[in-house]
C-alpha cells in the first residue's frame, strides 16, 4: 500500500513536469549568455503592444479634438493627452521588457495605426469619457489574457500583474469616478444651456487635476 502511494506520487510528479510549458532556452555564443522564454507568453506580449499604441493614438486624437478653439474643453483635453502619453509609455515599457528578456525586436512586430477604423469625427464630453473608460476596460481584459498566457513564465506574469495591471485598475477607477461625477453634476440641469454649464464646470475640475 505504502509502495503504491509512492508510485502514484512519482507518477503525478512526472505528469505535472511534462505537462508544464517548456522554457525555450538558447545559449548564445561568445560571452556566456542564455535567453529563456515561453513563446506563448512573449508572443502574447508582442501582440498586446499594438493595443497600447492604438489607445495612445486614439487618446491623442481625442485630446486634440477637445483642445480646438471651437470645442475648448482644456481640462479633458489635458487629461486625454496625458492618457495618450501613459499608453505610449506602456507600449515602451513592454518593448523594454522584451529587450530585458532578450527577445528579438524586428519588423515582424508589424505595428500600424489605422485611423479610419478607430477614430470618430466628433465626440460628446460624456461620450469621450465613456469611450475612454470602455477602452481601459477592454485593455485590462487583454492584459488579463497576457497574464494567463504567461502563467508559466513567472517573471513575465509578475511584471504584467504589477505595475501594468495595477495601473490599468487605477485608470479604470479614475474614469469611473469621472463619468459618475459628470453624470451627477449634469443631473440638475435640464436644458442644453444648463448641460453646457455643467460640462464647463466639470472641465474646470478636470483642469485642476481632480480626476
Q: Which residue is nearest to Fe ion (CB)?
A: 90
Residue ranges for the known binding site for Fe cation are 52, 87, 90, 136, 168
> Quick one: which segment of 21-29, 86-94, 117-125, 150-158 binds Fe ion (CB under 5 A)?
86-94
CB of 164 to Fe ion, least distance (A): 7
Strand partners, 25: 36
Cα-flanking dihedrals φ and ψ of residue 107, to 5°?
Answer: -70, -10
The H or E element spanning position 150 is none
Please select the residue that binds Fe ion; options are 59, 87, 146, 147, rule is CB under 5 A.
87
Asked if residue 116 lies in contact with residue 88, where contact means CB atoms within 8 angstroms, the answer is: no
Please select the residue that binds Fe ion; options are 46, 48, 73, 90, rule is CB under 5 A.
90
CB of 68 to Fe ion, least distance (A): 25
Residue ranges for the known binding site are 52, 87, 90, 136, 168
d(CA 30, CA 48): 33
Asked if residue 105 lies in contact with residue 95, where contact means CB atoms within 8 angstroms, the answer is: yes
> Quick one: which segment of 45-53, 94-102, 147-155, 176-184 binds Fe ion (CB under 5 A)?
45-53
Cα-flanking dihedrals φ and ψ of residue 137, to 5°?
Answer: -65, -40
> Can you give the binding site for Fe ion, defined by CB under 5 A?
52, 87, 90
Amino acid at each position: 500500500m505504502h509502495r503504491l502511494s509512492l508510485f502514484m506520487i512519482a507518477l503525478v510528479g512526472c505528469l505535472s513536469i511534462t505537462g508544464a510549458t517548456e522554457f525555450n532556452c538558447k545559449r548564445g555564443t561568445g560571452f556566456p549568455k542564455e535567453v529563456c522564454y515561453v513563446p506563448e507568453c512573449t508572443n502574447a506580449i508582442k501582440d498586446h503592444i499594438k493595443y497600447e499604441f492604438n489607445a495612445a493614438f486614439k487618446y491623442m486624437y481625442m485630446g486634440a479634438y477637445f483642445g480646438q478653439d471651437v470645442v475648448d474643453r482644456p481640462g479633458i483635453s489635458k487629461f486625454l493627452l496625458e492618457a495618450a502619453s501613459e499608453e505610449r509609455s506602456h507600449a515602451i515599457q513592454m518593448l523594454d521588457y522584451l529587450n530585458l528578456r532578450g527577445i528579438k525586436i524586428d519588423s515582424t512586430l508589424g505595428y500600424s495605426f489605422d485611423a479610419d477604423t478607430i477614430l470618430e469625427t466628433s465626440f460628446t464630453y460624456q461620450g469621450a469619457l465613456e469611450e475612454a473608460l470602455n477602452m481601459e476596460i477592454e485593455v485590462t481584459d487583454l492584459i488579463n489574457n497576457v497574464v494567463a498566457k504567461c502563467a508559466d513564465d513567472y517573471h513575465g506574469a509578475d511584471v504584467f500583474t504589477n505595475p501594468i495591471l495595477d495601473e490599468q485598475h487605477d485608470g479604470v477607477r479614475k474614469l469611473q469616478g469621472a463619468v459618475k461625477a459628470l453624470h451627477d453634476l449634469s443631473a440638475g440641469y435640464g436644458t442644453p444651456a444648463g448641460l453646457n454649464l455643467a460640462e464647463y464646470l466639470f472641465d474646470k475640475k478636470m483642469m485642476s487635476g481632480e480626476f
